[in-house]
Homo-oligomer: A and B are copies of this chain.
Amino acid sequence: MTNGQRRDIHNSDIPIICQACEARHKGVCGALSPSQLTELSKNTTKSVHEHNNRLHSSDQDQEHYSNILSGVVKLTKLLPDGRQQIVGLQFAPDFLGRPFSTQNNVIAEAATNVRLCSFPKKVLEKFIEESPEMERRLHEQHLNELDEARDWMLTLGRKTAIEKLASFLVLIVSHIDPERSHQEGDLAIELPLKRGDIADYLGLTIETVSRQLTNLRKKGVLEIGAKRAIKIVNLERLKTIAESGN
């Protein structure tokens, strides 16, 4: 990203708190001028959330937006009887929150340890009014989320269990390691979700997730390590399985 470098000529104008932040380049804060960044940074609070903690309870603390600094956040929806479905995964430097609406029936939880940079809704909405570029960036992120949601609807509605697992792994690789995902060679990664979360993301049970992972291992596509570690041996094969099952 030499583009990002060039912008940093006036790095001294940029608040210290923002200087190492991805959101300033690829995220929504990239739309702000140094002076706006300074104003926003006065109202921000950084926070750390441990694995599996709720980031905002469903109706409470809806007066804040956040940027994800690191970690993975899962967005979950619930049925009255307890069944649940993860409807989105978000990675740094994604924006977190639902503008223009107070009701948000989605639960945001930390899938891994997560660091956030939060600010009051009012402050951000002021910047949105001031700079169309800010709204444009938010709009584009939400369009990307819409595309991803629709891709996943195809996975949920029409794919078999093994295809779902393969689709999930391809998605994780493309987010965790975007450049390496197009190269040759083995890919060792740590899954950001535990089995139960993967099941809730794929509309399956824990047992089926486990079975299909060993299924993929027996096919020689990947190796399963301790904890959440896996090594992908044949990424191309995995992509094929994700769409056709074999």
Contacts and interface: CB of A to CB of B under 8 A. Distances in A.
B98 A143 contact: yes
Contacts of A142: 139, 142-143, 146
Closest 9 CB pairs of A and B: A157-B203, A87-B150, A149-B149, A156-B156, A85-B157, A85-B154, A77-B154, A139-B139, A83-B158
25 contacts: A79-B158, A79-B243, A80-B243, A85-B153, A85-B157, A88-B150, A99-B139, A99-B143, A100-B139, A100-B140, A101-B143, A132-B132, A132-B135, A135-B135, A135-B139, A138-B139, A145-B146, A149-B149, A152-B153, A153-B153, A156-B156, A156-B157, A156-B203, A157-B203, A158-B203
Given A87-B150, A132-B132, A203-B157, A81 B138 contact: no
Contacts of A46: none
Interface in A53-77: 75, 77
A44 interface: no
A110 interface: no
A157 B158 CA distance: 10
A151 B85 CA distance: 10
B150 A77 contact: yes
A74 to B, nearest CB: 12
As for how many copies of this chain the complex holds, the number is: 2
Given A98-B143, A135-B132, A153 B158 contact: no
Contact of A154 (B79, B151, B157): B79
Contacts of A143: 98-101, 142
A202 interface: yes
Nearest to A83: B158
A2 interface: no
Interface residues of A, number: 40
Given A101-B143, A135-B139, A139-B139, 15 more contacts: A77-B150, A79-B158, A79-B243, A80-B243, A81-B244, A83-B158, A85-B153, A87-B150, A99-B143, A100-B139, A100-B140, A106-B150, A132-B135, A138-B139, A149-B153
Interface centre among A154, A157, A244 (most CB of B within 10 A): A157
Given A100-B140, A158-B83, A153 B243 contact: no
